[in-house]
Structure 1
Amino acid sequence: MIKIKLHKLLFYKALLAVFAVCNLTGFSTASAQAKKATWIYYPGDFEVWLGNKMQNRRTDRGSFLPVLWKMDSHYVLVEFHKDFDVPATEEVKLYVEGIYNAKVDGQAFIGYPKSITVPAGHHKVSLKVYCQDRVPAIFVQGKTVVSDDTWLVTFEDKEWIDATGKVSDKSGTTYLNAGAWNFNDPLSPPSKFRLPTLPQHAVKSEKKANSIFLDFGKETFGFVKLHGLKGKGKLHIYYGESREEAMSVEHCETLDELDINEPVKKDSVMELSKALRYVNAQYDGGISVDSVSMLYEYAPLTQRGAFRCSDDEVNKIYDISKYTLQLATREFFIDGIKRDRWIWSGDAYQSYAMNYYSFFDSPTVTRTILALRGKDPVTSHINTIMDYTFYWFLSINDYYQYTGDKSFIKQFYPRMQTLMDYCLARRDSNGMMAGLPGDWLFIDWADGLSKKGELSFEQLLFCRSLETMATCAKLNNDAEGAAKYQALADELKAKIFKLYWNDQKHALVHSLIDGAQSDNVTRYTNMFAIFFNYFNEQQKQDVKTNVLLNDKIQKITTPYMRFYELEALCAMGEQGYVLKQMKDYWGGMLKLGATSFWEEYNPDKTGADVYAMYGRPFGKSLCHAWGASPIYLLGKYYLGIKPLTPGYQSYLVEPNLGGLKWMEGTVPTPDGNIKMYCSTSQIKIKGDIGTGLLRIKSKSKPVCKTGTIQAKGNNGYELSIEKGKDYIVSYSAL
């Protein structure tokens, strides 16, 4: 808790209540105190521990359903230390998760002290903590001696004492900077982290003698609360994302079954949170319930991104996309809120992209990346899926490009290396990745999609992952590693075009089987190669015509891969076509009453089939993170704002109305926002960070009183955007 003396202004007293609420959830506001302490732990361990807790909440009709992959644990014994120059003797309070010893300059204090005295001068303060059920963590608060992420930590300090009493040289110990995440209240350690909740009431309730049926008006998530519960007997709660699901007591995906024995009225909250719109509570005649509500559980993140345009349907698609992502953003970016509630790397990779154009919340990104990676040794692909391992590498590359955060990459580069070593060891004799026993090759949910042979899609993602490793090696001053990874990437890229490109089909084929090209062309590899910028201009045009705009090529029905298909088309300047596709596809879900976007939408499915998936009548998730991709598409390819160098130190603004009359929006960055309005005749823009480059097409030379327009030929013009400066550009859109 932030300490403020009682004689300070009453204004600060009011702030205490605000800070307390923020700290209890693990999210904090700016502090008035210049030097504050925070809870620290071994980096990545809180993320692994919290991920284990969250992912093991999944149930299948009331039965525990564990994940399919290895779950790691936190290090149970951790040493923390830091050197301080203390100007005057000070009393230092200690708060610790676990049992511990505390030392100053190697001299231990007796027992488990709640505070220690650190004399004036240069001193090393250290704590060694053991904790099995929680993450070993410390909160150290003095005037000078405070815990923060500049402390060094290790899970093996290799300290020993010889026969003379000499302490060992610990130069062989690997130390990292401590992990921290705004746990700034000593009484709210990491183990007490909970997402906050708010009361939420149904918009419609149908109460009968032994049942209550509720409609909360839209997809939501949280804990059902029974008010005035009394009696003895059985009580059943059936949840539904659709009315049909909640009414289906035999086939709804989630439920609660309770034995009630309450002689007096009381309120009762369900132990586990659920996804729902509808609730069907049924109970024996000996039970009475006054009413039912819920506690809406949410991640308290601020929506920094915004988009509005001349098309009301597109505005609704954007709003529902934001709500979908909000629901699927919990302690981590998860896939869907009803069924899995797990952390899947492929799903998360898309959520990161949407996050950069909405919340721009870096901690949720890094927390998810670390929970997915886990610990060494590597024994399988992430989520057991080969392509999901590669998405994990790609997510780190994107994180650096959008945030410019080098420290995260430097801290966790060794975990990147060991995961890449695992991949390199699983190459076949051609130096490519083909499925081995235990590997799941996913790509997409698509009928009849072959997974045989060496798939071009996997090689493409592998190549991009190697390029990411080369970039991160350079950031870590690993010249040898950078050269090795870049050489491997270059070699593989050459193989991809030599072995998979087919001149007659004007595309990369789907696979090689026994060294020969298959006859099959799919959209996946070809669309990724476009926005990876692997094709030359002629190949891009060929692929656009012969694959992306070719109805004879198997269509994509999941929002998951529609994300990438539409991104490739946007990258080719097809915003007008994509806008129509967006209105048909996401608009199609809206016409069916969607209040959040689905895991899969096929307009050919009708009736009960609309909700079916995985052989179950209600198996489909009606709130799936990968359904929210319009957030990303509208921000990056319509507003046209993206970083050119890490952390938006330089950025591109290339607006494309795609048939809209006007649009306006805000794109968040690590330090402020970029705001823009664009119509067919005027552009207004202001950036809070870096140097921007506005690139537009105009029938005549644009006019801007506050900047110099540069002609670039072929009706192209550019304007440099300085930080903090307003620009109004008059132009005539082509």
Structure 2
Amino acid sequence: MAFTFQINNDVKFKHDEKLLAKAEGFRPEIKKERIHPARIVEVIEDPLKLNGVGVTESDKSIDKIEEYGLKRNDKMILDFGDHRVGTFKIHIDQTGSPMDAPLYMRIKFAELPAELAAESKDYEGWLSRSWIQEEFIHIDELPATLELPRRYSFRYVELKVLDTSPKWQAVFSDPMVVTETSADYSGFEPMRFEDPELQKIYDIGVKTLADCTQDVFEDGPKRDRRLWLGDLRLQALANYATFDQTDLVKRCLYLFAAMTTEEGKISANVFVKPENVPDDTFLFEYSLFFISTLYDLHQAHPDEELIRELYPIAKKQMNITLKMFDENGKLNPDENYPVFVDWSNNFNKDTAGQAEMIYVMKQFIELAKVVRDSEISMYEKKLELITDYAKNVLFHPEKNLFATAWDEYNIASQVWMVLAHVMSDEENKSIMQTTIQELFPVKNIATPYMYHHIVEALFEAGLDEEAVHLMKSYWGKMISLGADTYWEAFDPDQPEYSPYGSPIVNSYCHAWSCTPVYLLKKYVKNK
């Protein structure tokens, strides 16, 4: 993973208590449900599943779980039937001679079988090992009911007895997860497709979104567990296409608006537990996407009062970013305010960033019209300048592609220019056809975040068949490898890829991957 930590300890943040109070007023109800495991399973080699690891049903029956005594190094894997987010509880007793030593055990939680095969002691990745979902526990007296206080994200739970004594064995019963989500299914009407593959892609997208819908739109319930603005933009679009929980989008926007730097810049992400804290990480388009998220909300559910309240914060993001463009309309990137586009730094991002600015400026001007901003004409002229630079300098007619400052032609540049509708509809279609011919198949891109934008650009260019094909080959491939929810990172050419050095810390339920529900509803419906 090329994206690196930012440490900006000298940045000072403001806290607008009025806006924070409004965010608190939109805090959702967390719905809880008790779910018991469906079966007991064992890990097996399976070349068709992620990392060649799958599961098969054990000879042991979940209905007779209390009959199985576990001694030193014995283990049992519980399968909860689908991806779950919540707290875990289990009753433990002992059988045999009197308990003459404590029970020492490990409980391991896994979203996919690949994690069950990985050992935490072997992890040497750069991300904190504290994210690994396992607990080492001593219990002095049995029987006891063990209730773990942490929230986990998993389908499988491995119970391993590290030691008892030769005289007795541990016995388990009544395992359950108390799931947590604020997703409201009461008014949700799922889409139905004649194509079973599209139906599966849609259904798993809904599940992914629901498990990331907590007291904010989390990026992932297993790891990070926070509110990122780039993720929020996509989650909000998926939300309007499914649960349509407008208040939760408002809560997230208020949180970002309430905690800006002293100069008014919005952080790339915020923490909400144990209290509201903005992170000292800043990304070029993530701050801009505050504007996009506000615009998209107004498109889905017009709210002029909200626009008027949050417009000054949106305008500040636009003004800060405009300072990065020279008198010719060219983006001059700032390493302290990096253009993200995708994790990979194997391609130049200047042109994609230029397009992202055009994309957002068009939305900003529409918001400016709502509040009747007297400076609209200035922004329109800036947009024209930045767009003209893209058309006249960055676009190379002989290639029918946009180039970067390195004279590089990459997919991201074409995709964002098409999404920004810099050229006409006919030209956009031609550019994406050239992109397919010259730059496909997609290589060295390992995030559903970027794949979303590629698929959407194909749809926007009128290449529906190609868009659906890419959706099936990407999200469908995750499903074939065993996905119950969509992943944070996935490279079809390297399914075992981990940006962190091990699958044990990968997030296999990540919000920026849920967008097929939005794409299918907007562009496909049930064709």
Q: What's the TM-score, normalizing by structure 1? A: 0.57
Equivalent in 382, 397, 401 of residue 503 of structure 1: 397
Please give the secondary structure, in 1, of the residue aligned with 2:487.
Answer: coil
Identical pairs, percent: 23
Equivalent in 373, 376, 390 of residue 482 of structure 1: 376
Call closer, same or farther: CA 1:527–1:301 in 2, change over 3 Å.
same
Equivalent in 47, 67, 71 of residue 209 of structure 1: 71
1:75-94 equivalence runs, <5 A: none
More strand per residue: 1 or 2?
1
More helix per residue: 1 or 2?
2
- Report what 2:239 is aligned to: 355
After TM superposition, give the deviation of residue 537 of structure 1 in Å.
3.9
After TM superposition, give the deviation of residue 549 of structure 1 in Å.
4.3
- Alpha-carbon distance in 2 for matches of 1:440, 1:237: 40
Residues 545-582 of structure 1, C-alpha deviation per residue, up to 9 Å, x if partnerless? 21134345754443212212111222232222322332
- Alpha-carbon distance in 1 for matches of 2:340, 2:119: 32
- Report what 1:668 is aligned to: none
- Report what 2:511 is aligned to: 625
- Alpha-carbon distance in 1 for matches of 2:197, 2:465: 15
- Report what 1:472 is aligned to: 367
- Alpha-carbon distance in 1 for matches of 2:436, 2:235: 24
Please give the secondary structure, in 2, of the residue aligned with 1:384.
Answer: coil
- Alpha-carbon distance in 2 for matches of 1:278, 1:365: 31
Structure possessing the higher radius of gyration over alpha carbons:
1
- Report what 1:290 is aligned to: 172
- Report what 2:25 is aligned to: 181
- Alpha-carbon distance in 2 for matches of 1:538, 1:576: 17
Equivalent in 292, 296, 300 of residue 394 of structure 1: 292
Equivalent in 589, 598, 616 of residue 478 of structure 2: 589
- Alpha-carbon distance in 2 for matches of 1:261, 1:554: 51
Contact 1:380/1:439 (<8 A) preserved: no
Call closer, same or farther: CA 1:224–1:307 in 2, change over 3 Å.
same
Call closer, same or farther: CA 1:235–1:564 in 2, change over 3 Å.
same
1:420 maps onto 2:318 in alignment: yes
Contact 2:330/2:389 (<8 A) preserved: no
- Alpha-carbon distance in 2 for matches of 1:508, 1:525: 6
Residues 274-322 of structure 1, C-alpha deviation per residue, up to 9 Å, x if partnerless? 1111222334417946333211111141363432122112111111111
1:298-377 equivalence runs, <5 A: 298-302=181-185, 304-373=188-257, 374-377=259-262
Contact 2:24/2:251 (<8 A) preserved: no
Residues 563-620 of structure 1, C-alpha deviation per residue, up to 9 Å, x if partnerless? 12111222232222322332222222222121112223333335xx25x332234343
Which letter does structure 2 place at the counterpart of 1:200? Answer: I
- Report what 1:546 is aligned to: 434
1:68-467 equivalence runs, <5 A: 74=15, 181=25, 195-205=30-40, 208-210=70-72, 211-228=75-92, 232=102, 234-250=104-120, 251=123, 253-257=131-135, 260-261=138-139, 263=141, 265-283=143-161, 284-285=163-164, 288=170, 290-291=172-173, 292-302=175-185, 304-373=188-257, 374-377=259-262, 378=264, 382=268, 383-427=281-325, 432-446=330-344, 448-451=346-349, 455-467=350-362
- Report what 1:599 is aligned to: 488
Which letter does structure 1 place at the counterpart of 2:342? Answer: D
Aligned residues: 458
* Gapped regions of structure 2 (runs ≥ 5): 42-67, 95-100, 124-128, 269-280
- Alpha-carbon distance in 2 for matches of 1:256, 1:549: 47
Call closer, same or farther: CA 1:379–1:564 in 2, change over 3 Å.
closer
Runs of 4+ in 1 over 6 A off after TM superposition: 65-71
Please give the secondary structure, in 1, of the residue aligned with 2:90.
Answer: strand
- Alpha-carbon distance in 1 for matches of 2:503, 2:205: 25
- Alpha-carbon distance in 1 for matches of 2:402, 2:366: 26
Which letter does structure 2 place at the counterpart of 1:446? Answer: S
Please give the secondary structure, in 1, of the residue aligned with 2:423.
Answer: coil
1:695-714 equivalence runs, <5 A: none
Contact 2:34/2:176 (<8 A) preserved: yes
Which letter does structure 2 place at the counterpart of 1:255? Answer: Q
- Alpha-carbon distance in 1 for matches of 2:288, 2:398: 30
After TM superposition, give the deviation of residue 357 of structure 1 in Å.
0.9
After TM superposition, give the deviation of residue 543 of structure 1 in Å.
0.4
After TM superposition, give the deviation of residue 264 of structure 1 in Å.
5.4
CA RMSD of aligned residues (A): 3.2
- Alpha-carbon distance in 1 for matches of 2:140, 2:12: 39
- Alpha-carbon distance in 2 for matches of 1:256, 1:495: 53
Which letter does structure 1 place at the counterpart of 2:260? Answer: K
Please give the secondary structure, in 1, of the residue aligned with 2:438.
Answer: coil
Contact 1:328/1:336 (<8 A) preserved: yes
User: Which structure's relative contact order is higher, taking Cα pairs within 8 Å and 6+ residues apart?
Assistant: 2
- Alpha-carbon distance in 1 for matches of 2:508, 2:204: 12
Residues 365-403 of structure 1, C-alpha deviation per residue, up to 9 Å, x if partnerless? 122223234234235753411121222221111111111
1:613 maps onto 2:499 in alignment: yes
Call closer, same or farther: CA 1:273–1:358 in 2, change over 3 Å.
same
Contact 1:376/1:418 (<8 A) preserved: no
Please give the secondary structure, in 2, of the residue aligned with 1:440.
Answer: coil
After TM superposition, give the deviation of residue 262 of structure 1 in Å.
5.1
After TM superposition, give the deviation of residue 448 of structure 1 in Å.
1.8
- Report what 1:54 is aligned to: none
1:32-71 equivalence runs, <5 A: none
Which letter does structure 2 place at the counterpart of 1:386? Answer: F
- Alpha-carbon distance in 1 for matches of 2:93, 2:201: 40
Call closer, same or farther: CA 1:361–1:617 in 2, change over 3 Å.
closer
Contact 2:35/2:177 (<8 A) preserved: yes
- Alpha-carbon distance in 2 for matches of 1:483, 1:202: 61
- Alpha-carbon distance in 1 for matches of 2:203, 2:7: 32
Please give the secondary structure, in 1, of the residue aligned with 2:109.
Answer: strand
Q: What's the TM-score, normalizing by structure 2? A: 0.78
Deviates most, 429-438 or 360-369: 429-438
- Report what 1:10 is aligned to: none
After TM superposition, give the deviation of residue 68 of structure 1 in Å.
8.2
